[in-house]
Amino acid sequence: MTAPLAIAFIGTGVMGRSMAGHLQKAGHTLHVYNRTREKATALLEAGATWHESAGAAAAQADVVITMLGFPTDVEQSYLGAGGIVERVRPGALLIDMTTSSPVLARRIAEAAARRGVTALDAPVSGGDLGAREARLVIMVGGDEAGFARAKPLFEIMGKNIARHGGPGAGQYCKMANQIAVAVGMVAWVEALAYAKRAGLDPAAVHGSISGGAAGSWAMTNLAPRALAENFAPGFYVKHIIKDMKIALESASELKLDLPGLAVAKRLYEQVASRGWDECGTQALYRLYLAL
């Protein structure tokens, strides 16, 4: 195990609080900030120190980890006045685990380097369950030395950990993941909606098809929630829409057409328009029941 570190953890929401908790239980000292302090309560009760801003937490840390909602949050936290890059200690390691923009990841890495700091982009996959069980997939971009420093921490939070290249590479990998996730969500939702409309028991159909060629992580883990009308968020609708926008913008820059992803985005925007943007992504099934 790595020697105990002072870690600033910024963003203690649905996934972040579990990730931070694993680091805390492993013996690291936590400095935390979240827009809503209540979401950090369990960490604070276990000994974490609260700070009034991301920059203030970063100033006390050897390693800064962020798990935020949107690229705008990432940009402000890292590059804004009084933010992480401005206040972090020279020689510290910055790790953004938010699903964000590859272009922004490169900007942060460049700004960090000017301060004598290494920055990695390390978005994750696995949702709330993967975060709780420390089974996250962690996709990393950044230099090899920074990755080597971060890997013992990644191994506390996840199982499938890989560096894919320089700054931005982790975000490109995560976009590939989200393309597969979003289009795959449409697949199982349409299959079960079709079964229901045909007069079958969709739960029984799920039992027949989820273990075969039609199976997927989402079919196994999210379809049962949808069938039970449990639309609580493991991963928010508003966040999958954000990710699809980033992926489509990035694909456009790469001169690649992704029609399947465009359809998924249009469907999820319909989900959001019904006021379900704070639901989990399995709420797409709810849309089909309403059509």
Give the separation between CA 36 and CA 140, rounded to whole angstroms.
Answer: 28
pLDDT at residue 234, as a whole number: 84
Residue 1 pLDDT level (bands cut at 50, 70, 90): low
Instruction: Residue 23: name the closest of 6, 41, 45 by CA.
Output: 6
Tens of pLDDT, residue by residue over 217-265, are 999 999 999 999 999 998 899 999 999 999 999 999 999 999 999 999 9
**Residue 258: DSSP 8-state:** -
pLDDT at residue 2, as a whole number: 67
Tens of pLDDT, residue by residue over 97-130, are 999 999 999 999 999 999 999 999 999 998 888 9
Domains and CATH numbers, the chain: 6-165 (3.40.50.720), 172-290 (1.10.1040.10)
Residue 83 pLDDT level (bands cut at 50, 70, 90): very high
Residue 3 pLDDT level (bands cut at 50, 70, 90): confident
Written as one string, the DSSP assignment of 144-185 is HHHHHHHHHHHHHHEEEEEEEESTTHHHHHHHHHHHHHHHHH
Residue 151, Cβ neighbours under 10 Å: how many?
Answer: 14
Give the separation between CA 266 and CA 37, rounded to whole angstroms.
Answer: 34
Calculate mean pLDDT across residues 165-182. Answer: 97
Tens of pLDDT, residue by residue over 138-157, are 999 999 999 999 999 999 99
245 is catalytic: no
Residue in 151, 159, 174, 238 annotated catalytic: 174
pLDDT at residue 127, as a whole number: 84
5 pLDDT exceeds 90?
yes
